[in-house]
Amino acid sequence: MSHQYSLWASVLVFAAFAAAAQTSGPTDAQIAAIVVTANQVDIDAGKLAESKSTNKDVQAFGKMMVTDHTGVNKSATDLAAKLKLKPEDNPTAQSLKKGGDENVSHLKTLSGAAFDKAYIDHEVTYHQQVIDAMDKTLVPNAQNAELKALLVKVRPAFVAHLEHAKGLQGSLEAKGAAPHSPKAG
């Protein structure tokens, strides 16, 4: 049930994102806010994984999320400052923040293997949805060439994160199927 909860929260966030995109595309200022918020959501969850997980691979993944997404946010905020583009709060950014806060609150109630599974399952879903949003909404609607270029430039990192999370997901599932495995966390 907890796994379904976090996936459902992610689906709702991105359903709101898609609905907003269909009526009219986000402006560059709104895209900047969405990018910063989406990264911050993953930074917050990554920090929790670093401190709460007892699995060294999950901890390392959480640390990588914090480092990589902090870097993307720095690039985004630096570019916004250069362009004199003030990130504009919008329903999509608000939904992302709300979904991220709910995910972290939910993860805080878990421990051990249940925490690791919920965190990694959410990361797989979240990264796939962010990639889809970049491809279908953010990149096509970005008017400024430098903003569009930044989105295109960071996309491969999101894909790499997704693949890494899927690999961890598979190893956690295999471990769950063989709980007495001598392989350490």
pLDDT at position 166: 98
The average confidence (pLDDT) of the chain is 87
Q: Is the pLDDT at 87 greater than 70, yes or no?
A: yes
pLDDT at position 17: 53
pLDDT at position 175: 85
CA 83, 131, 54, 106 torsion: positive or negative? Answer: positive
% of the chain beyond a pLDDT of 70:
83
Question: Residue type for 73, please?
Answer: N
pLDDT confidence tier of residue 177, bands split at 50, 70 and 90: low
Q: Is the pLDDT at 69 greater than 70, yes or no?
A: yes
% of the chain beyond a pLDDT of 90:
80
Cα gap 127→109, rounded to integer Å: 22
Q: What is the pLDDT of residues 6-61, one digit of tens each?
A: 444 444 445 455 545 445 789 999 999 999 999 999 999 999 999 999 999 999 99
Record the pTM: 0.83
Which residues in 106-119 are b (16+ Cβ under 10 Å) and which e? bbeebeebebbbbb
Mean pLDDT of 169-178: 84
Do the beta carbons of residue 141 and residue 113 sit within 8 Å? no
pLDDT at position 51: 96
Q: Is the pLDDT at 180 greater than 90, yes or no?
A: no
pLDDT at position 14: 52
pLDDT at position 12: 45
